[in-house]
Amino acid sequence: MLAAQRRDELLERLRRDGRIVAKTTAADLGISEDSIRRDLRELAAEGLCQRVYGGALPVSPAVTDYAGRREVAVESKERVASAAARLVHPGCTVILDGGTTALAVARRLPRDLVATVVTHSPTIAVALVDHPTVEVQLLGGRLFKHSLVTCGAAAVEAASAVNADIFMLGVTGIHHEAGLTTGDPDEAAMKRALAARAGDTYVLGSSEKIGAASPFRVLRLHEVSGIILDAAPEDRARRDLERAGAVVISAST
């Protein structure tokens, strides 16, 4: 089998099965496992898969820059944001992560809601400037321009003083094996720091993130209170998450 044919076959298996196991694929194709690993390295270098131990997973389109993410899975984000906003109760303190889905949550908070929003996203803070009854606390630190959030030591230290009821967590990958992942190690550390300051953490699971993975783990599935999805109950990736023990909150209810 030519290299180009192997590449096409690997991409098709990734699309069809949602994963590639190097050992099994090598046996199926009658070639060496080293050849499969080399192919996966090349595909990963082109951004076409996310390598993991023993194989590869689909790469998340949510790792693109902030401007690009605004055009991805817009309707799914709106549905997830609406469901997330319903979890914010009067009088509570909620941490809103950065990202386009979290921004949609901020815009859906009821105009009569009395609550406190803590965020490390200047974009979200600005979006809530005109909200009449939501107090906003902005955490400072180094601005990570890719996602328009603050992170680093100063931001983590600022987060340590927060005590919140809810954290709305944004990630770029939600996978039943890889867990909750994102594309930058400092951003992953900041998300963990914020999750540690909240009683409940809910994941904003718009469709482009489901079944995909990014390089850096944020949390395991059992470490969050729920994942808000708009995927149908029969969706394979949703079933995989539920079988792995994830608590799924339907965005359609």
Lowest average pLDDT, out of 46-60, 77-91, 182-196, goes to 46-60
Burial of 71 (0-12, 13-18, 19+ CB in 10 A): exposed
Do residues 92 and 201 both lie within one domain? yes
Do residues 102 and 55 both lie within one domain? no
Do residues 50 and 131 both lie within one domain? no
> The whole model's pTM is what?
0.83
97: containing domain: 66-250
Do residues 52 and 81 both lie within one domain? no
Do residues 39 and 126 both lie within one domain? no
pLDDT of residue 253: 52
Do residues 26 and 93 both lie within one domain? no
Do residues 175 and 219 both lie within one domain? yes
Do residues 55 and 107 both lie within one domain? no
> At 73, is the pLDDT very low, low, confident or very high (cuts 50, 70, 90)?
low
Do residues 29 and 92 both lie within one domain? no
Element (H, E) at 198: strand 198-205
Do residues 213 and 108 both lie within one domain? yes
> At 62, is the pLDDT very low, low, confident or very high (cuts 50, 70, 90)?
low
CATH number at residue 123: 3.40.50.1360
Give me the residue label for tokens 């979890």: 87
| Alpha carbon distance 212, 119 (integer Å) | 26
Which of 59, 88, 103 marks a domain boundary? 59
Q: How many domains are there within the chain?
A: 2
**Rounded mean pLDDT, 14-26:** 86
CATH number at residue 26: 1.10.10.10
Residue 226 has pLDDT above 70, yes or no: yes
Burial of 30 (0-12, 13-18, 19+ CB in 10 A): exposed
Residue 218 has pLDDT above 90, yes or no: yes
**Rounded mean pLDDT, 78-98:** 96
Which of 13, 43, 59 marks a domain boundary? 59
**Rounded mean pLDDT, 156-172:** 96
Locate 32 and state its tokens: 């060496």
Do residues 158 and 233 both lie within one domain? yes
Do residues 73 and 169 both lie within one domain? yes
pLDDT of residue 130: 95
Give the three-state DSSP class for 165.
strand
